[in-house]
Amino acid sequence: MGRRDVVILGSTGSVGTQALDLIRLNPDRFRVVGLTAGGSNEELFDKQVAEFDPTRSGLGEQESVAAAGMECDVVLNAITGAVGLRPTLAALEAGNTLALANKESLIIGGPLVTRLAAPGQIVPVDSEHSAIAQCLRGAGDSEVRRLVLTASGGPFRGRTAEQLVDVTPAQALAHPTWSMGPVITVSSATLVNKGLEVIEAHLLFGLPFDRIEVVVHPTSVVHSMVEFTDGSILAQASPPTMMIPIALGLSWPERVPDAGLPMDWTEPVTWEFFPLDDDAFPAVALAREAGERGVTAPAVYNAANEVCVREFLDGRMRFVDIVPTIAAVLAEHDVPLTPQGLTVDDVLAADTWARAEAARLILRK
């Protein structure tokens, strides 16, 4: 593989900084030509720009849109939230390979994104979807029976709905296997994040929702699986790390040697799997409903959740009220009849409405 020119959007966040760590270790494989960030850590961003000396750099959404459309080999969209939608569309319009860590842009953009993307143009950076993409290499569509996304179960695996009533923010932020930002950590505890990943898998791989399963796997070593029509199952496994999917996102379809640490096979290892408890954790079933409705419903699911998580972290709502509030917002949302005329403004308007409606319901309660 020749040296690849890389643009990183969201360079000061968790995925962005890990990507730069990888590039720092592999200067013969990657060169940074664009860096952007939201502006929450300007000091770190200035250090990154000084070190990597990109052709283009800047803070804010418009800078990210412009950088995504640069001539380059791959754009890593590691922005957090709905603000990543326009940069995702800009990268696809420019014909750049899109390494997608900003799942929100695909989930809320839905048909806007899938219509623009050429086959293979989007390389997923979520560990679960990277795992599925690896398992599907060389497989034909007709060979696939279903996709199986693994979930750690979060810090409350095994609890009943009644046992979740008094959960505190500190408990919800204590994820057993991954170190992430507060919003995604709480969303993993509710399994809303896994629901978003089910919608993401449907959009990335084109399978209907009834052929996308979720199974609880506490150690997060098996990142996801594909079951084929003959009963065979392929799984992708590694110690929990984002470095492998990030490396694959930048180098796809080639692998970057030593991106992650190898398994230690000198110690006993047990891989356990458990069925998902939909009664205690109804977020995945709700996400399937939103995904089936499509168009702007996934954007509403995502936006309402972000408001609820912040209200929970600030002590203004209970953990067990997060998913019911999302459901209530979805119930009030009028989805456009067809996706054909959907625009970016429609999506962002639905996002804005859902945030306001979620805030209204929380305040009333």
pTM of the predicted protein model: 0.95
Tens-level pLDDT at each residue, the chain (365 residues): 689 999 999 999 999 999 999 999 999 999 999 999 999 999 999 999 999 999 999 999 999 999 999 999 999 999 988 899 999 999 999 999 999 999 999 999 999 999 999 999 999 999 999 999 999 998 888 999 999 999 998 899 999 989 999 999 999 998 777 667 788 889 999 999 999 999 999 999 999 999 999 999 999 999 999 999 999 999 999 998 999 999 999 999 999 999 999 999 999 989 999 999 999 999 999 999 999 999 999 999 999 999 999 999 999 999 999 999 999 999 999 887 677 888 999 999 999 999 999 999 999 87
- List, in order of start, the domains of the chain with CATH numbers: 4-124 (3.40.50.720), 140-219+277-364 (1.10.1740.10)
Alpha helices in the chain (DSSP H): 14-25, 42-52, 61-68, 85-93, 103-109, 111-116, 127-135, 169-172, 182-190, 192-205, 243-251, 283-293, 297-313, 322-332, 344-364
Q: Are strands 233-237 and 74-77 parallel, antiparallel or unpaired?
A: unpaired
What is the end-to-end Cα distance of the chain in Å, rounded? 57
Q: CA 362, CA 321: separation in Å to the nearest integer?
A: 9
Coil, strand or helix at 204: helix
Q: Which helix (H) or strand (E) holds 262?
A: none
3-state secondary structure of 205: helix
- Full DSSP string of 25-40: H-TTTEEEEEEEE-ST
